[in-house]
Chain A
């Protein structure tokens, strides 16, 4: 889980080097991420972890924090 988290953090930091992602749990609600970021993030997560985030999982709750994202990825890996 920690490994997943740090990989996601790396992806996010490359996208926005100036933001503090580790301590934010309102990434969507406070507009840190926009629609372009969400699309980029999903495609990079899909590539990095060899999982598929389907449309029904693309909801604000899953994208508001690095922890939520990591849990989403973990659940997708477990499903396989």
Chain B
């Protein structure tokens, strides 16, 4: 049995060494290159004394970024991806949390990395990727590897304003990749087009099946997601047959009538998630690709990527949300009510190998959501409480109902409205603020009281929050509405917004 994700690479490099594994519009890397460079990077990290510790990867979205991840794992370490579009204050919080000693950069990012509050070593990927490999050292690292060791830490929105680092181990990722590949029918013929950022868990869907099967992944240039015709042309040019994208990337294509100009010629597997797929848009896709399979995926980062799937096969009613179906094999979903009893409608809790290790260097937050299974008092068993409410419909399919808190999904990103408010409240001259989400138009709405114009507020906020968390509508008020027990009245803010 595999106990390390790199076992996939070790096998496949002998089978299809000259096939392209990871590519973008300009450049591709064969499995032989992937193998060679990851061992060079691993050897270099080993020579720096890095072992069983986090290594930050700060590179632009590029196939080499993926190779850097493998290099970190080869050294027996775990990668922490950060992105050039993350604002400085967020990066400082991440560096402070994970306490890495090395940051791997590229020529585009190294200047910015020099401005970080960071006392460790900065290195350039291209320089370390030609280090002569130390085969004996790498073999020894692998011999000692355990499948409960972390493979990555990715950071997700935290309601107090501090991002939380979710650490996942080899065993969780292997379990996920095996089940996902079986469910979606990946094979050596699979050609992926990656849409999701490399600094979240979403890209696991392409990266590791590519190694497992000797498939190929194309990284789609981000700018194409503004220009639907060019995007579909890209898919056709590279004969892409499989995409696992956020819903908003799919609806961007269908909603503008792109299919009248160009249709995807090779697509046969379409997986989507993170948001509700509007049924009208879904039908447009289905009508141009009647023979393709469509699968809704559901799962939080804390459950290693995805934990539930639903093949859309039956006819859905106009007002029926696409179900999240049921768990992958080797995963169980518990629905628990407020008294922790199994219920038909309740909080979605995940049980299984996919449950990650917890929040890195954050025992308090970990204890809140990674808890002992209340239905098991006999031995230690951790489940993850998602904070999502689910129920079973009359077909026995699991359906997402709502959130227990103020977490939203916006353009595929998971955001705590509390994190936006916490960062707004830190601005000088700001007195009060309240954030709501306009679900229909997909807009983050912010009301505030303070001595600054909305223009100044937005400009300052851009230094603190990633772009996808910046409110899309900002209005200054002289006072905010409060509830009877003294909290900011979000219902009243929603009414105000609706009647503006």
Contacts and interface: CB of A to CB of B under 8 A. Distances in A.
B226 A56 contact: no
Interface residues of A, number: 24
Contact of A34 (B229, B260, B462, B467): B467
A14 B454 CA distance: 10
A38 interface: yes
Interface of B: 222-223, 225-230, 248, 252-253, 255-258, 260-261, 411, 441-443, 453-456, 458-459, 462, 467-468, 472-474
B228 to A, nearest CB: 5
Given A36-B411, A42-B256, A55 B229 contact: yes
Interface of A: 14-18, 28, 33-36, 38-40, 42-43, 52-56, 58-60, 63
Contacts of A34: 226, 467
A33 B441 CA distance: 18
A18 B456 CA distance: 7
A35 B226 contact: yes
A52 B258 CA distance: 12
Contacts of B260: 54-55
Q: Main SS of the interface on chain A? A: helix
Given A35-B226, A40-B443, 10 more contacts: A15-B472, A33-B226, A35-B411, A36-B248, A40-B441, A42-B256, A55-B260, A55-B261, A56-B229, A58-B227
B454 A17 contact: yes
Nearest to A55: B258
Contacts of B226: 28, 33-35, 38, 58, 60, 63
A13 B307 CA distance: 41
A69 to B, nearest CB: 14
Contacts of B458: 16-18
A33 B223 CA distance: 10
A39 B462 CA distance: 20
Contact of B455 (A15, A17, A58): A17
A56 B227 CA distance: 9
A54 B256 contact: yes
Given A17-B474, A53-B256, A55-B260, A35 B225 contact: yes
Q: Which among A28, A33, A38, A52 has the highest number of chain B CB atoms within 10 Å?
A: A38
A62 to B, nearest CB: 10
A40 B257 contact: no
B459 A58 contact: no
Contacts of A18: 455-456, 458-459, 462
B16 to A, nearest CB: 34
A33 B470 CA distance: 13
B459 A55 contact: no
Contacts of B222: 35
Nearest to B259: A55
B124 to A, nearest CB: 24
A59 B229 contact: yes
Contacts of A38: 226
B242 to A, nearest CB: 21
25 contacts: A17-B458, A18-B456, A18-B462, A28-B226, A35-B226, A35-B252, A35-B411, A36-B248, A36-B411, A36-B442, A39-B252, A39-B255, A40-B443, A40-B472, A42-B256, A53-B256, A54-B260, A54-B261, A55-B257, A56-B261, A58-B226, A58-B227, A59-B227, A59-B230, A60-B226
